[in-house]
Amino acid sequence: MTLAQNARRSLVSDDKAYGYFALSALEEAGAVALDRLPYCLRVLLENVLRHTGRNDVDDGDVRRLAGWSPSSSDIIPVSFHPARVLMQDYTGIPTLVDLAAMRDAMVALGRDPQMVNPQIPVDLVIDHSLIVDEAGHAGAMNFNLAVEFRRNAERYQLAKWAQSAFERIRVVPPGKGILHQVNIEHIATLVCSDPEPGNETLLYPDTMVGTDSHSTMVNGIGVLGWGVGGIEAEAAMLGLPLVVPLGRIIGVRLTGELTEGVTATDIVLTMTQRLRAFGVVDTFVEFFGPSAQNLTVADRVTLANMSPEYGSTCAFFPIDRATIDYLELTGRTPEQIRRVEAYARAQRLWSEPDAPESLYSAVIDFDLGEVTPSAAGPRRPQDWVALADIPQNFQTQMKVEPAPAHDGISDGAIALAAITSCTNTSNPAVMIGAGLLARKAVARGLSVKPWVKTSLTPGSRVVGGYLEASGLQADLDRLGFQVAGYGCATCGGNSGPLADWVEEEIVAKNAVAVAVLSGNRNFEARIHPLAKANYLMSPPLVVAYALAGSVKIDLTTQPIGHGCDGKPVFLRDIWPSTQEIMAVLAEVVTPALFRTYYADLFAGDATWNGLEAPRGQRFPWNMASTYIRRPPYFDDLSGATSNPPAIAQARALLILGDSITTDHISPVGDIAADSPAGRLLASHQVARRDFNAYGSRRANHEVMVRGTFANIRLRNEMVPGIEGGMTRHVPSGDVLPIFDAAMRYAADGQPLLVIAGKEYGSGSSRDWAAKGARLLGVRAVLAESFERIHRSNLIAMGVLPLQFPAGTTRLTLELDGSELIELVGFENWTIPGETLQARITRADGTLTAVTMQGRLDTANELKVWRAGGILPFVLRRLAGQAPNIDEAAHVA
């Protein structure tokens, strides 16, 4: 009898009997000491135990995971079967396109297209297509939503087709909020209940993966999950395990109390700097300690949201009394809430203040009392800066003259002030704080500077509800912070245009303009092409800086402006107290509000319901479409799956430095008229005003491949002194757009490489950072280190990640792109992490050999890469051409 068969137990909630796989049975069998096991590991252990006997999971896998040791450096490959998948439309709609293409390929193989069908629930929240075309007036939201529908009708029709063609797919129409907040406020169940024919209904932890990096936000309510690429999500949808490499689990002990005037945003920005400096990339992070118990769930999810910014796989808070209070506040049913508590207690997933501390690989002590008002910038979320130091930070980092702020557009002028949806509008305290600051500013006669574009894009309609109920939305309106839409906008690069005169002055003066936003990402050229500096901060500070108009003003000592009485007004004069915030919160944030706004989550408005969508098992492709094109990933399924072809006489397409983000690689933001993608759209008679953003055209590979590596802040060392998506075509010496150079190489049949420094691929989970590279002809990336999600995505697209040995870099090798490179040795790879030799032939004929580590960290990664990527391998598996399901598994 297996461990799982011995572990089946029953519990009763509301007079109903449920079955579950008890972790205590493993303790009884001597396999584990549960009280000292991190809670996130308990959830993983239950997942593996419950799936014993499926997809090659056996008792050995359970025992290995149960035997995890905080002192061990071993990596344990864990076959993780998430309970569900959550998608946003930028990544989700291309995923649906891949599934549609996979159905076509299944027919080409002589199989039933319905073999391609999700095996677990999938929720697609359409939230990333909102662009703030207009802001600062009462009609902005309706205008932006109407334009969104006009631009994206084809994409939304595809989503409606998928909802009817596939099983277990639900679609949340536009205008309802962002996936992360909708997830924590409504979709997440914390405990799943599945009826089993002839048996008790089975209870198990709600787990998930999401096609957005910040899917970790749900960790704040005790749900284990993280971001994956859309191609990995497809594998999970189709019932395949995601093989998670489990190594270190880092505990963060929270102590102390926040001082007056400090926000949850200040906590998370400080935490991001601390954890990034400590080094938690690819680890599991779990919060505990006396102050973790006292932290509100709204604060917890703010911390969990930014897990990708500090680089960890997850940022977990276990279920406790505060979690139950949050479920009650957000309008979950009493039966569901009692079931969650009963299961969490029975399964030893419930955290009590006096419980023994779990054992961790390392513990970081974090005193909340040491947190001060702060921001992060001007280029990365881990670049913490104290509020008082922002003027000096801006001057130093952006290399501008130490001149005082001008009353107009000059260096440091704030062009964008956005209260964005992702990190902070999950947190009523900071949103109400922003409203109260606006109220006090209006009362003192302050106004926003005329060159500042202001916007508010809440994460859910509940936020709009309590701001209206409190009267605070009227105060925000008076400062130009009207709701511009419910979705991900400015933080994802959809900030829309500035006023013409503002753009003209910034360009004419070559001013270093600034964006301030309450989001989680501020990478170069992400927010707006003309905003060269970007600072993350709390919503109240966003409002304050919009009033000040410049980051050259020290808000801790200098006046934010002058009131209607002519007297100076300081930030301290209008900053709301914690008591004021809590009083409003208690009055207007109620369960009834959540029940009202979530009653029709999956129902669309008249525009959505009026969209006519195709019907049938297969999608009818429109070859004239500039939005939806059948991708080429299944065009050639005739080759062998044993090994990719040799890589010889390869050229470097780019040579890059450290901290290259997926925003540098993947097409993001506006499509420039003079770019290869812009020229393609113009050739299809698409008007400039309808180019839309790259994110909205992710289902058209022809557009996306032309925008890969096209970031205007990219610095390619092969073309010194040039900023943007350019490279040198070595044989001719011509400096060309990267796409054009890649096509020349492709015509000559020459394989390409990317060479880079540390932290290659940090940032958002962007499939197209890997898909685009592959379609450009990139066969391998040689870097000093990789971020987890992007390395995984490269493998999923058949691109080989190779790591330089310690002390060896592109700089020590003096690479300039003129070299020819041969990769020797992968033909015989049989185990993960093996090495190969990179033979570098320089222009003068000299040869240098470097031993590179293959970053295929698990056996499944090796198999997937050999197959040419996860998509062809999954297809062959479903069609019965792969030996077993484990061979199609992939690292999350």
pLDDT single digits (tens) 797-852: 999 999 999 999 999 999 999 999 999 998 889 888 899 999 999 999 999 999 99
Determine the Cα–Cα distance for residues 584 and 436; give it in Å rounded to an integer: 9
What pLDDT is attached to residue 884? 45
What pLDDT is attached to residue 892? 38
Q: What is the pLDDT of residues 143-181, one digit of tens each?
A: 999 999 999 999 999 999 999 999 999 999 999 999 999
Contacts 24+ apart (CB under 8 A), 587-594: 587/470, 588/466, 588/469, 588/470, 589/329, 589/428, 589/466, 590/329, 591/328, 591/329, 591/330, 591/331, 592/331, 593/331, 593/462, 593/465, 593/466, 593/469, 594/185, 594/186, 594/329, 594/330, 594/331, 594/462
What pLDDT is attached to residue 344? 98
Determine the Cα–Cα distance for residues 225 and 213; give it in Å rounded to an integer: 10
For residue 882, pLDDT beyond 90: no
What pLDDT is attached to residue 890? 41
The two three-digit tokens of residue 458, written as one number: 């809440």
What pLDDT is attached to residue 638? 59
Determine the Cα–Cα distance for residues 852 and 890; give it in Å rounded to an integer: 22
Q: What is the pLDDT of residues 405-447, one digit of tens each?
A: 888 999 999 999 999 977 766 799 999 999 999 999 999 999 9
Q: What is the pLDDT of residues 517-527, one digit of tens each?
A: 999 988 888 89
What pLDDT is attached to residue 891? 39
What pLDDT is attached to residue 258? 95
Domains in the chain: ranges and CATH = 3-68 (no CATH), 84-370 (3.30.499.10), 374-598 (3.30.499.10), 647-666+708-867 (3.20.19.10)
What pLDDT is attached to residue 788? 80
Q: Which residue has 């519990």 as its token pair?
A: 11
The pLDDT-based confidence of 306 (bands split at 50, 70, 90) is: very high
What is the rounded average pLDDT of the residues 753-768? Answer: 89
What pLDDT is attached to residue 55? 83
215 against 764, higher pLDDT: 215
The two three-digit tokens of residue 276, written as one number: 């990034």
- Evaluate the CA torsion angle 145, 150, 155, 158 in order and state its sign: positive
What pLDDT is attached to residue 229? 83
Residues in contact with 504: Cβ distance below 8 Å, sequence separation at least 6, in sequence order:
none
The pLDDT-based confidence of 876 (bands split at 50, 70, 90) is: confident
Q: Which residue has 């960290």 as its token pair?
A: 857
- Report percent pLDDT > 90 for the chain: 82
Angle ∠(763,765,768) on CA atoms, nearest 5: 110
Q: What is the pLDDT of residues 723-745, one digit of tens each?
A: 999 999 999 999 999 999 999 99
The pLDDT-based confidence of 29 (bands split at 50, 70, 90) is: very high
For residue 887, pLDDT beyond 80: no
Q: Judge contact between 125 and 172, C-beta under 8 A.
A: yes
For residue 885, pLDDT beyond 50: no
- 3-state class of 414 per DSSP? strand
What pLDDT is attached to residue 861? 86
The pLDDT-based confidence of 680 (bands split at 50, 70, 90) is: very high
As a whole number, the mean pLDDT across the chain is 93
What is the rounded average pLDDT of the residues 698-708? Answer: 94
Determine the Cα–Cα distance for residues 224 and 212; give it in Å rounded to an integer: 15
What is the rounded average pLDDT of the residues 358-364? Answer: 98
What pLDDT is attached to residue 642? 58
Burial 247-265 (b: 16+ CB within 10 A, else e): bbbbbbbbeeebeebbbbb
**How crowded is residue 618: how many other Cβ atoms within 10 Å of its Cβ?**
16
